[in-house]
Every structure is written in C-alpha cells, then in structure tokens.
Structure 1
Amino acid sequence: MKVLLNTDNHVQGDEALAQHVEQVVADALQRFGDQVSRVEVHLADTNGQKSGDNDKHCTMEARLEGRPPATVTAEAPTMRGAIGEASRKLVRLLDSSLGKLAR
C-alpha cells in the first residue's frame, strides 16, 4: 500500500510528519492487505497561524481495488489527533463497505 501525503501551505510537511502518517495508516489498515492499493492523506490548518478549537483538518482517501475511493475527514485541536481520528473513521468505513461485499 502506498501512502501519499499532501499539506496546505500552513502545515510543515517534514519527514517526521510523513513517517507518522505512514505508520498510523499502515497500522490501521494492515488487515485489509492488498484490497487497499493507495491512501492519499491531505492535511490542513484552517486557521493558519492562529490557534483555535478543531482547526487541524485531515482527509484520507483510500483507493480500493475495483471499487470507488473511500473518503473520510476529521478535525481536531492537534494534527496528530486529526490523523488518528481520520484513520479510525477510515477503518470503520472500510469494515462496513468491504463487509457488505463479503455477504
């Protein structure tokens, strides 16, 4: 599974952030194996330099073999919190959509 990270101009997309995102996504989606070919992660800080509640935004889009992409979004006070919440939502969405296929 390939993980692609995109950030807006208010988020510093350094190597540590990229490694964190890859690890969170890999851990969360490992049980789906080859069904997920790629995950695109988009990070944004909606308030820029100002602080605010839930101003960190994460969108994850999973590309599934032979299926339309599955997309989730999450907002949190910290970027790590938004990434974690989005990964949990993505697991629930994939469980639901792939579980329906199995039935």
Structure 2
Amino acid sequence: MQININTDKTIERHQGLDDHVQSVVSAAVSRFSEHITRVEVHLSDDNSQKSSDGGNRCLLEARVTGYQPIAVSDHSVHLHQAITGAADKLKRAIESALGRLHDKQLHATPKLVPEPDEVNE
C-alpha cells in the first residue's frame, strides 16, 4: 500500500509531518492493506475561507481494489487533529464499503446445499 502526501502552498511540509501522516494512516487502515493499492493525502489550510470548524483540512482518498475510490475529509484547528479525524473516517468508510462488497459476494454465490424442505419433497 502506497501513501502519497500532497500539501498546498500554506502547509510547510517536512519529514516529521510525513512520518506522522504515514504512521496515522497506516495504523488506521493496516488491516485492509491487501485491498488498498494507495492512499492519497491532501493537506491544506483553509483559513482564507474562514471556516467555522477549523482552518486545517485533511482529505484522504483510498483506492480499493474492486471498488470506487473512497474519499473522506476532516477539518480542525490543528493539522494533526484533522489528520487523525480523517484517518478514523477513512477506516469506517472502508469497513462499510468492504462489508457491502463482501455481502454482495455472499448473495451472488449459488446455493450448494438444499434446504431441508427441498430434500423431503
């Protein structure tokens, strides 16, 4: 699983930030790593837009095999909180998506064992 980090011009990117993003995102989605090809991370500071829920935004987009890309975002006053919040949302979204995909696969499989009523007839 690849994690690509992108920042806008207002975010100072450094090794510590990259390490933090890598560890938080990896920890959140590690159990799905065989299903995820990559996660795109977009960090920005929206203070110019005067958002009421915080100026820092973290957008995460996961590319899951066999499914449409899953995107979530979180806003916070502190960038690290936005990253953590978005990672938690991504984990829940992937759990939900993979659960639906698993359910579709279960319902699509043919019935191999006859029901008890069918045997008696």
Letter in 1 for 2:39: V
TM-score, L = length of structure 2 = 0.79
Any stretches of 5+ residues in structure 2 without a counterpart?
104-121
Any stretches of 5+ residues in structure 1 without a counterpart?
none
Letter in 2 for 1:29: V
Alpha-carbon distance, 1:66 to partner: 2.3
**Range with greater deviation from structure 2 (39-48 or 2-11):** 39-48
- Identify the residue that residue 26 of structure 1 maps to in structure 2: 26
- CA–CA distance in 1 between the matches of 2:47 and 2:26? 29
**Deviation above 2 Å: which 4+ runs of structure 1?**
none
Q: 1:44-97, CA deviations, whole angstroms, 9 ceiling, x for partnerless residues?
A: 01116x9x8510000000001122100001000100000000000001101111
Letter in 1 for 2:42: H
- Identify the residue that residue 58 of structure 2 maps to in structure 1: 58
- Identify the residue that residue 41 of structure 2 maps to in structure 1: 41
Higher strand share: 1
- Identify the residue that residue 11 of structure 1 maps to in structure 2: 11
Letter in 2 for 1:46: D
Q: Which has the higher contact order (CA 8 A, sep 6+)?
A: 1
CA RMSD of aligned residues (A): 1.5
Alpha-carbon distance, 1:33 to partner: 2.3
Equivalent pairs: percent with the same residue? 39
- Identify the residue that residue 91 of structure 2 maps to in structure 1: 91
